[in-house]
Structure 1
Amino acid sequence: MEIERPPRPPLPPPPPVAAAVAAAAAISSVLGDDDLLREILLRLGLPTSLLRAALVCRRWLSHASDPAFLRRFHDLHPLRLLGAYLSTSAGPNPRLRFLPIRPVPELAGAARRAGGFFDAFKGSAASIYDSRGDRLLVTTFDDRNDSTHQVCSPLSPAGDTTVVPPPPPPPPIQLANDDECVIYQYCEFLPDDGDGGSYFCVVMGYSELQTNVYLYELQDMNWVVRASAAAQLALSPRRSRVMLFSNEKFYILSATNKILVCDFPSSSISFMELPSGVENKHGGCIMLSRGDGSGIYLMHVKESQLQIFHCRKDSDNPGNWVLVDYICLRQVCANLDIATWPSVGGHTASVKICAVGDNARFVFLEMFGTVVFLDIRSRQAVKVYELTPEDKELVSVRPLLLMWHPVFPLMKNGCNQKELCTA
């Protein structure tokens, strides 16, 4: 006869001290391995998180501040878009608004600084002519319409602002006869890298027989002609936002529906053909994007289709465009409550490109009175702002990136592993 035995009672939980020791051993086996620790720090995602991790101990600080590690971190985490300044033509003074894009709690302080930066300009009309990274090129106008030009850094703790000279006067251009005239067009740009008082100005002079392009650079608060080019081309200036300046070349869409390319190192002017099937049918359907030394990108929108082309820098044919992406805006914007796309004369109303990021990473679009941000890689669209009747018209969208200039803690000699002297 088989005797039924009672079930065994469950084992008692380990003492708290033993559990804590086991957990510490498991953590130490991971964080105590320098290779694993570097991989963990590399995936923190935000520079602010990396700076906080550097405060844990001297070993973590050593890994986080290592130049080779920082290069890997920068390559894995490209510059983050914090938001954009929107300018509308409401009233006598155009209004500027800062709108955060996909805000996260860690960057709330930076977003507040960017949003409140133009409070100091109240009473003056302000226009942003260019944005590059976390810097802005701003012109303000007082009641007498006198202008002040400034290079600003809204995200710096002190809101650094440097007053700079206005653009240089137009250069003299020799005319064929007394009846001929010259039409000038100015474009102002911030360089990729530079101090607070550095920026470029491209001045184009159009006459009946010749096009002249001059590149000026502001050095030590003085305008210096860095390069010039001329071509026997009778062109007429055309208001277009298809402009790109990469410190060596300047691109603008000409009246002939081609891209005028001014190469400053060689002082030459040439043309690039638009990609096959692309036409500049309305303002805002084409915009160019820098390619980080790999050439340039061209974004083209037609009705609900967004096309992205790339032209390599080393291409034998400067007009050799390759279609690298194709996006149906109806699909990616399906979550934005745009149930039906309005049409004009049987055709879908125009969608305009307002701003683009380097390497065609993102684009701002104006769609039926709504400003939309589209992340190209993730295909995520976000409604940024809806225009009101008081706004009248959208003037510009200027992206603001979160640049990272790391300032790590200083270590005192003789400090133990957890003692740090913060800067």
Structure 2
Amino acid sequence: MEIERPPQPPPVAAAVAAAAAISMVLGDDDLLREILVRLGLPTSLLRAALVCRRWLRHASDPAFLRRFRDLHPPRLLGAYLSTSAGPAPRLRFLPIRPVPELAAAARRAGSFFDAFKGSSAAVYDSRGGRLLVTTFDDRHDSTHQVCRPLSPGGDTTVVPPPPPPPPIQLNNDEECLIYHYGEFLRDDGDGRSYFCVVMGFSELQTTVYLYELHDINWVVKASAAAQLALLPPKSRVMLFDSANFYMLSTTNRILVCDFPSSSISVMELPNGVENKPGGCIMLSRGGSSGIFLIYVKESQLLIFHHRMGANDPGSWSLVDSVSLRQVCANLDTARWPSVDGPSAGVKLCAVGDNAEFVLLEIFGTIVFLDITSRQAEKVYELTPEDKELVSVRPLMLIWPPVFPQLKDAYYDQKERCEAQSTA
């Protein structure tokens, strides 16, 4: 017995019905925004903006971008690893948790320093998709640059070196003065601007100057001084946010310089935390909520938060504790010695904002740890040729995305082609 089948609509009619259904969804601005906000990657937003003027308007709307960032925090693309191999530091890019959609961006980041062949390069800071780089030629002459490795042209802007130390009045001729520098990129810089913090330490006073680069000129933005006898840090445990500068001193205290009020104070470390040699402490920006302190103690990664307030100095609270033994169980750790004990070979190399991730060196292996998901990934294994690890600098995807400045003729042509294809 032959089963009678319902008649199928003509192919043209089916295509028209499908187009009408799609138009009903994508023609609704509310539904379109819900679709766009789920794309997940800024690069996907850029491609969506090429569809038409309406999509560009939604994708580039500031309120939409704030919501997109809340749902999809800025993504780590990889890290630049610097080692002391040979007569000059060796710099390479290590992709982290690569996805096919970002393969082109990872290749661009990896090949960026090919243009610096013949000179050694050091990355002093990284914010978003920008790097603060100093290169040295054979004569040891240095050039300072702010770079955007992910831009199509690999934009590089030469900037002046940090300013000379300011004159600081000493109490007597026998008093010793030590200067210490910290260089930091702006969160929302124009591609050239960055900050330089210059600290002067004497036996009786600590003085801090904040300089900002404007139109290739250094401008003093603020300064502060206090009768604090602190020693400069032995390692670069520093942090700079929109208003405050933090520096971990060798006295197990954090110097806090509030530039808006031109004041300097001292913050005690959390209970049980000690600034021991070996890179066991790093600080992380927490936005308006304060700062985070990440501390490695044997096989535990401890995360503390210090909430800042105008009338409440705040206090440290332990917000997370991660067992390195457990999170690294999926890695090939058979040859690693025990991570317990005072001689544990675990070093903090870099941390993300809001303590979202850390990059660690564990017995010669560079490990990326997503703190939120508790997922660890082996990124690189140091070789004898690498000699010694110098630095690890994360590279984030550019945020907010830079939408193309397309002319009306582009969209006019696109709309004409679409109209002809549906005619």
TM-score between both structures, scaled by the size of structure 1: 0.90
Residue in 2 that maps onto 1:9? 3
Highest CA radius of gyration, 1 or 2? 1
Q: Is the 8 A contact 2:199 2:209 kept in 1?
A: yes
Provide runs of 4+ in structure 1 moved above 6 Å.
Answer: none
Q: Residues 50-105 of structure 1, C-alpha deviation per residue, up to 9 Å, x if partnerless?
A: 23233444544443344433332233222221111010111110000011111122
Is this contact kept in 2: 1:204–1:213, CA < 8 A? yes
Aligned Cα root-mean-square deviation (Å): 2.5
Q: How does 1:208-227 map to 2 (within 5 A)?
A: 208-227=203-222
Give, in whole Å, the separation in 2 of the partners of 1:294 and 1:25. 48
Q: 1:103 aligns with which of 75, 84, 98?
A: 98
Q: How far did 1:412 drift?
A: 4.6
SS at match of 2:287: coil
1:233 pairs with 2:228: yes
Maintained 8 Å contact 1:275/1:319: no
From 377, 387, 404, the counterpart of 1:407: 404
The percentage of aligned residue pairs carrying the same residue is 77
Q: Which of 382, 387, 398 is residue 392 of structure 1 equivalent to?
A: 387
Distance 1:384 1:138 in 2: 23
* 2:131 aligned counterpart, secondary structure: strand
Contact map agreement 1:216 1:227 (CA 8 A) in 2: yes
Residue 223 of structure 1: how far off its partner (Å): 1.8
Q: CA deviation at 1:13?
A: 6.7
The alignment status of 1:64 with 2:59, answered yes or no, reads yes
**From 248, 253, 260, the counterpart of 2:243:** 248
Distance 1:60 1:144, change over 3 A: closer
Q: Specify the SS of the correspondent of 2:403.
A: coil
Cα distance in structure 2, aligned partners of 1:137 and 1:196: 10
- How far residue 341 of structure 1 moved from its aligned partner, in angstroms, is 4.6
Residue deviations 1:16-59 (CA, integer Å, cap 9, x gap): 53655654555444334332222112101122222323344454
Equivalent residue number for residue 194 of structure 1:
189
Which residues of 2 match residues 94-243 of structure 1 at below 5 A? 94-243=89-238
The total of aligned residue pairs comes to 415
Aligned counterparts, 1:208-357, within 5 A: 208-314=203-309, 316-318=311-313, 320-339=315-334, 341-343=336-338, 347=342, 349-357=344-352
| Contact 1:410–1:420 (Cα < 8 Å) also in 2 | no
Asked if the contact 1:411–1:420 (Cα under 8 Å) also holds between the matched residues in 2, the reply is no
Q: Secondary structure at the match of 2:172?
A: coil
- Aligned-residue offset at 1:269: 1.2
Q: Unaligned 5+ residue runs, structure 1? A: 1-6
Distance 1:347 1:219, change over 3 A: closer
State how far apart, in whole Å, the 1-side matches of 2:22 and 2:246 are. 55
Preserved contact between residue 181 and residue 207 of structure 1 (Cα < 8 Å): yes
Deviations 1:96-122 (A, max 9, x none): 001111112222222122111111111
SS at match of 2:359: strand
Distance 1:402 1:345 in 2: 35
Q: Contact (CA 8 Å) 1:88, 1:394: kept in 2 or not?
A: yes
> How many Å apart are 1:351 and its aligned residue?
1.2
The amino acid across from 2:402 in the alignment is H
Name whichever of 16-25 and 40-49 sits farther off.
16-25
The residue number in structure 1 matching 2:29 is 34
Letter of the aligned partner of 2:215 in structure 1? D
Give the SS at the match of 1:209: coil
Give the letter aligned to residue 404 of structure 2. Answer: V
Cα distance in structure 1, aligned partners of 2:345 and 2:101: 37
State whether residues 58 and 419 of structure 1, in contact with CA within 8 Å, keep that contact through their aligned partners in structure 2. no
Query: Is this contact kept in 2: 1:241–1:283, CA < 8 A?
Result: no
The answer to whether the 8 Å contact 1:241/1:287 transfers is: no
Letter paired with 1:9 = I
When residues 149 and 111 of structure 1 are mapped into structure 2, their CA distance, relative to the original with a 3 A threshold, is same
User: Normalised by the size of structure 2, how large is the TM-score?
Assistant: 0.90
Distance change >3 Å, CA 272–CA 346, structure 1 → 2: closer
